[in-house]
Amino acid sequence: MLNLIANTSMEKKILTALTPLISDKGMRIVKIKFEKVRELRLLIFLDKIDGKLTVDECADISREIDSFLDIENIIKDPFRLEVSSAGIDRHLSSLDDLIKYRNYNVRVKSESYTGKGKLIGNSPHSLTLSNKNGERCIDLSSVQDVKLDLEGMSLETIKEMEFK
């Protein structure tokens, strides 16, 4: 089963711990990134099951996540938490996402390929990109990230995506 939500063992641990809390709020986790830039940073991108996620809802769930992580003590070192909506240039992290955003431009990072193209197809085991170099079939088991790519998209296309 495709799961691009969490890549590292720590991200997977956080995903497992937070999923019940997020699901109870009528939301789903789209992507978790736990990284060290200058400091440790935990980014959590959410989507609402029904409707759009508001700024106030992000602020509320951010406080709940912060308290939950403090209590559970999953992350031992100090970190900065950032919670936001998946956004218009969202990560695609499920087979449903790949189907929903077929024929839109994406950026893909896998173990052996990093590039852009139009997502023209997918199966439970692969996705197919089309770009100026032709078509490329990429094994989903090697994919680390897929994200919508707004570069070069018309305003009409972006507005159309917003209501998907």
Q: Which amino acid is at 2?
A: L
**What per-residue confidence (pLDDT) applies to 149?**
93
Let me know if residue 90 belongs to a domain. Answer: no
Domain range for 104 is 95-162
Same domain, 70 and 27: yes
19 and 78 in a common domain: yes
CATH number, position 132: 2.30.30.100
Last residue of a domain, one of 39, 56, 85: 85
Residue 1 pLDDT level (bands cut at 50, 70, 90): very low
- Domain match, 78 and 99 both: no
Question: Could you give the angle at the alpha carbon of 36 between the alpha carbons of 5 and 70, nearest 5°?
Answer: 70
Contacts for 65 with CB less than 8 Å, ≥ 6 apart? 18, 21, 44, 81, 83
- In this predicted structure, what is the pLDDT of residue 163? 60
Single residue among 85, 107, 132 that ends a domain in this structure:
85
Chain centre distance of CA 106: 12
How do residues 61-114 score in pLDDT, each as one tens digit?
999 999 999 999 999 999 999 999 998 889 999 888 999 999 999 999 999 899
Give a yes or no: residue 3 inside a domain.
no
Spell out where the chain has E strands. Answer: 27-36, 40-48, 80-85, 105-110, 114-122, 126-131, 134-139, 143-148
Q: Are 41 and 35 in contact (CB under 8 A)?
A: yes
Domain count, the chain: 2
pLDDT at 17: 96
Query: Are 71 and 119 within one domain?
Result: no
Last residue of a domain, one of 35, 51, 85: 85
Q: Using one digit for the tens of pLDDT, what is the confidence trace for 18-63?
A: 999 999 999 999 999 999 988 999 999 999 988 889 999 999 999 9
